[in-house]
Structure 1
Amino acid sequence: MRDRQQNRQQIVVVTGASAGIGRATAVAFGRRGATVALLARGRAGLEAAARDVEEAGGTAMAIPTDTADHEQVEAAAARVEDELGTIDVWVNVAFTSVFAPFWEISPEEYARVTEVSYLGFVYGTMSALRRMKPRDRGTIVQVGSALAYRGIPLQSAYCGAKHAIQGFHESLRCELLHERSNVHVTMVQMPGVNTPQFRWVLSRLPNKAQPVPPIYQPEIPASAVLYAADHPRRREYWVGGSTVGTLAANAVAPGILDRYLARTGFASQQGDEPRDPDQPVNLWEPADADRDHGAHGPFDDRATDRSYQVWASRHHGLLAGLGAVGATAAVGALASRWRS
């Protein structure tokens, strides 16, 4: 683990850095003195995120980048190393989604979600490895989701992308272990988070989209990303009790979970207010090109800023015990609800 002085000298790249988890992560690295390159499409969001990083005590470079375009990602990585220095940590966060039943998503929309939310991680990892592997040092953090293991209704494109990242991550990790490389990859599986995506995601739902409760503030995942970057030998970290319960229940009784989500997954991802048909959509163009939306979404009054499970995740032995308890409790609760 690096000491504080070394952390101050870190050069970090964060994709999807203009909002949500990416922005909170960039600010958290800035708070400990890192130099942070911020990659995203929206100029207003990027510029505001850069100011946040510098106000926190770091150094920021905003680089407008569409992570679905490998050439743009590679150009951004080259610029970082030319102007800032050697990249120590690369964090892949950027994503997009469509809230709709599968049969209401067009092939073009599905391809775009896959290009951003999966191939964007692949391209970022390629550019990072191209530089880290010859030096035999560096860390790549993939920001995942409980949905990397457990698909839910209304988000088939996003769930497919997160499942793909999980498989890609496992394959790459095995290859690096085979070579005894000192480049490390780790993945952080996230719960529902209060991010601006719910204001701008392409949605065909009747009501406003929301994360599946419980909802966490983005600073909780950001702290987990920093810890993972400092301790990257673990294959993955789980954030939030809901992530632990979901993944444990899915491992033990996925069929029961299918039926439970079929009953609850539509309502739990929508609020009570009708969706605004004129809300911005960031699938093809950035929603924060001219207006900064900040790190937080519209659920501050419902989101929690603490998670005891994150502490448990940093103490793996305890987490294993919690997972076993969580699996038993979750399966019992789901079975009871399904029978009712």
Structure 2
Amino acid sequence: MPRTVVVTGASAGVGRAVAREFGRRGDRVGLVARGRTGLRAAAAELHEMGAEAVVAPADMADGAAVRAAADHIESVLGPIDVWVNVAFTSVFAPFTEIGPEEFRRVTEVSYLGYVNGTREALARMKPRGTGTIVQVGSALGTRSIPLQSAYCGAKHAVNGFTSSVRTELLHEKSRVRITVVQLPAVNTPQFSWTLSRLPRHPQPVPPVYQPEVAARAVVHAADHPRRKQYYVGASTLLTILGEKTAAGLLDRYLARTGYDAQQTDRSAPAHRPHNLWEPLDGDGEDARDHGAHGVFDDSARKSSVQAWWSRHARTACPALALGAVAVAAGIRGRAAGRAVARR
């Protein structure tokens, strides 16, 4: 049965891919972001699929704007069943080169934006006693890396905030569910439009995955919300396990490699345009739709075995167990047959 889904950050990147994935299933999708050109393009894509979509421009850092966007979406598409928080911004620079207002802006969008979205979702879902919230997180919410202190801090905060809200819902015996999908490096436009003070063009730390890999995991999480987080990409799981078992070693490793690993060989303009304060898709003659993919298509992976396992572990484990029993039985049977033959 079609649901009403809100996707924040839907104009580009992972949010754009997530919106398409829900639309492909026939869900009604509310598209929230700052960039009007990207939102209109996203809506057009969904309409071509035969899906209903409504554009609701809003800065996720503005609580009143988020409320107005949610009201508009419900007035057109009906009660919200799923809310997916994706929108973020960042700064690539050492902490000492990030100004106080810049750091605050990243926090207001990438953390408080999730708070604002969750608040509006719960205000509508709790009275009805049903609904699902999916927080799109990152491996960097557990293991921080250099040059992204504001973003890492925000993602850590999202994890702590979500765990607290989950316990409150459990206390209330609410049927509203909240879950987190932790992502690896993803090939999105962020590396071309995020404010950067690095000497070379920013890049995701390999291995890099296409946004569609993340989108499939997000849609699955919306269908099957659980307390245990979903991990996309083996690198995400290994990063989180490494933080739990060898944090000091990771500190030293990232201190040596983390700067170069986040930069290509190409120099970057000293004052390249960025989207920290305003969207970069323009309007009128300057309008540009950035889409879901970034500039790293040649190296990005289109699938993730670990993401598949995360989605299917509950069914795969019994199947593997049955397979192991069958193999063992076959081995025993062959051994018995040989024993009989020897007699």
Q: Is this a same-fold pair by TM over 0.5?
A: yes
Q: In structure 2, what is the equivalent of residue 182 of structure 1?
A: 175
Matched, 1:155 2:148: yes
Q: In structure 2, what is the equivalent of residue 92 of structure 1?
A: 85
Amino acid at match of 2:142: Y
1:67-106 CA-to-partner distances (Å, cap 9, x unmatched) read: 0000000001111112210100000000000000000000
Alignment of 1:1-340 (within 5 A): 6=1, 9-289=2-282, 290-316=287-313
Cα distance in 2, alignment partners of residues 187 and 314 from structure 1: 13
C-alpha contact 2:30 2:73 (8 A) present in aligned 1:
yes
Amino acid at match of 1:32: R
Consecutive unaligned residues in structure 1, runs of 5 or more: 1-5, 321-340
Amino acid at match of 1:241: A
Question: Counterpart of 2:39 in 1: which secondary structure?
Answer: helix
Q: For structure 1, which segment, 229-238 or 195-204, has the greater mean C-alpha deviation from structure 2 after superposition?
A: 229-238
Deviation at 1:314, TM superposition (A): 1.6
Cα distance in 2, alignment partners of residues 231 and 306 from structure 1: 20
C-alpha contact 2:54 2:76 (8 A) present in aligned 1:
no
Question: Counterpart of 1:66 in 2: which secondary structure?
Answer: coil
Question: Counterpart of 1:144 in 2: which secondary structure?
Answer: strand
Question: Counterpart of 1:143 in 2: which secondary structure?
Answer: strand
Amino acid at match of 2:116: Y
Question: Counterpart of 1:67 in 2: which secondary structure?
Answer: coil
Question: Counterpart of 1:259 in 2: which secondary structure?
Answer: helix
Give the length in aligned residue pairs.
313
1:128-178 CA-to-partner distances (Å, cap 9, x unmatched) read: 000000000000000000011011000000000000000001000111111
Cα distance in 2, alignment partners of residues 299 and 270 from structure 1: 12
Question: Counterpart of 2:37 in 1: which secondary structure?
Answer: helix
Identity over the aligned pairs, expressed in percent? 63
Cα distance in 1, alignment partners of residues 135 and 191 from structure 2: 21
Deviation at 1:315, TM superposition (A): 3.5
Cα distance in 1, alignment partners of residues 102 and 38 from structure 2: 23
C-alpha contact 2:139 2:236 (8 A) present in aligned 1:
yes
Normalising by structure 2, report the TM-score.
Answer: 0.89
Cα distance in 1, alignment partners of residues 266 and 226 from structure 2: 44
Question: Counterpart of 2:111 in 1: which secondary structure?
Answer: helix
Normalising by structure 1, report the TM-score.
Answer: 0.90
Consecutive unaligned residues in structure 2, runs of 5 or more: 318-343
Cα distance in 1, alignment partners of residues 191 and 306 from structure 2: 25
Amino acid at match of 1:312: W
In structure 2, do the counterparts of structure 1 residues 255 and 317 end up closer, same or farther at CA, with 3 Å as the change threshold? Answer: farther
Cα distance in 1, alignment partners of residues 142 and 315 from structure 2: 21
Question: Counterpart of 2:56 in 1: which secondary structure?
Answer: strand
Deviation at 1:201, TM superposition (A): 0.3
Q: CA RMSD in A?
A: 1.3
Question: Counterpart of 2:103 in 1: which secondary structure?
Answer: helix
